[in-house]
Amino acid sequence: MSLMMKRLVMMLLGVAGGVVVWPLLLLVESLQTTFSSYLVFSLLEGMLFGLVFGAVFGSFEGIVVSSRRKGLLGLLWGAIFGLSSGALGILLGQQVLFVVAEGVLSGWERGREAGLMFASGLGWGFIGLLVALTEGFRSRSLRKLGVGIAGGLAGGLVGGIALQAFKLSFPGSPWALLGGLVLFGLLLSFFYAFFENRFSWGALKVLTGPLKNKEYHLVKAKMSLGSDPKCDIVLRGYGEVRPVHAWIMMRKGKVVIRREGDASLRVNDRTVEEAQLRREDVIAFGKAKLIYGIFV
């Protein structure tokens, strides 16, 4: 899978998240009068919203590296993280809405509707920001947390306001809700993919075997390569590749690859224990061969 295809898959998953959460929110809205308070109703909406989009973002990495185990574990982690993120996002959004409604807009009649739409959209935006942090927390990577913050802020804010605009423009319309949710998922995943590309320090492209032409962003400060599903870059189906065969990392502004233990590692047909990588360097170990570079 090329990096361009990866971005398209991520955006399609974002759209799918909007489609999946749509009937759940419709069900909750149909039961709104049975809730003890509007806060309880809003919290349930937020938790369902976070559950679905958290699961989507949590599964991204496993889908991209073709690891079913990593994808399922990520989905489970993302769903759990998304539940709490949804509740927290709604609470933060309610506080912003209260401040705007009671304070900032008290004497600004003309902009009241736009301001309230913005404030309500922030609630969804907060959830978007929090669920975009899913992979960063799961992988314990500061760089991926940075991707989540930047992508979540941009995509969550724009997508949240767009979602709220759809809801206010066509009140009570289930199709407007669907359109807003799909747009939210699309924008959130688009901005996440955009900033992941900006935060990466290069990419590896597989040149041989079953994963030929598959590309991997290098985002974490240190990433493992091997056949184990727990590796950051999983190279299954390649003979003589160990569970953890090598590590690629950023060190003092330089990209370095280092073998694990006494594993065989070659860079440009030269056997090495460790080597600094430059664009178009070819890495080989076992039956796998990859090239380092900047791919778009």
Asked if residue 192 and residue 214 are part of one domain, the reply reads no
| Statement to judge: residues 90 and 179 lie in one domain | yes
Report the domain count for the chain. Answer: 2
Q: What is the pLDDT of residues 193-206, one digit of tens each?
A: 888 888 888 899 99
Would you state the pLDDT for residue 145? 86
Within the chain, residue ranges assigned H as helices are: 3-30, 38-64, 68-99, 112-132, 134-139, 142-169, 174-199
Domain shared by 217 and 161, yes or no: no
In whole angstroms, what is the distance from residue 35 CA to residue 39 CA? 9
Positive or negative, the CA dihedral 206, 208, 211, 214 is positive
Output the pLDDT for position 113. Answer: 60
CA angle 31, 120, 156 (to 5 degrees): 105
Share of the chain above pLDDT 70, in %: 90
CA distance 15 to 243: 35
Contacts with 96 (C-beta within 8 Å, 6 or more apart), sequence order: 119, 122, 123
What are 205-234's pLDDT values in tens digits? 999 999 999 888 888 889 999 999 888 899
One domain, residues 125 and 220: no
Q: Residue 285's closest CA among 207, 191, 186, 177?
A: 207
Q: What is the mean pLDDT of residues 94-113?
A: 60
pLDDT tens across 155-191, in order? Answer: 888 888 888 888 878 888 899 999 999 999 999 999 9
For 39-58, what is each residue's pLDDT tens digit? 888 889 889 999 999 998 88
Q: Does 20 share its domain with 134?
A: yes
When the pLDDT of each residue in the chain is averaged and rounded to a whole number, the result is 85
Q: Which of 199, 226, 251 is the last residue of a domain?
A: 199
Q: pLDDT category, 282, cuts 50, 70, 90?
A: very high
Pull the structure tokens for residue 144.
């991926």
Q: Domain end: 199, 233, 256, which one?
A: 199
Summarize the confidence of residues 22-26 as an average pLDDT: 94
Among 147, 172, 199, which residue terminates a domain?
A: 199
Residue 287 structure tokens: 């039956």
Highest mean pLDDT among 100-109, 126-135, 256-265: 256-265
Helix (H/G/I), strand (E/B), else coil: 12: helix
Which of 93, 63, 98 has its CA nearest to residue 78? 63
The answer to whether residues 65 and 184 belong to one domain is yes
User: 0.85 exceeded by the pTM?
Assistant: no
Domain extent at residue 87? 3-199
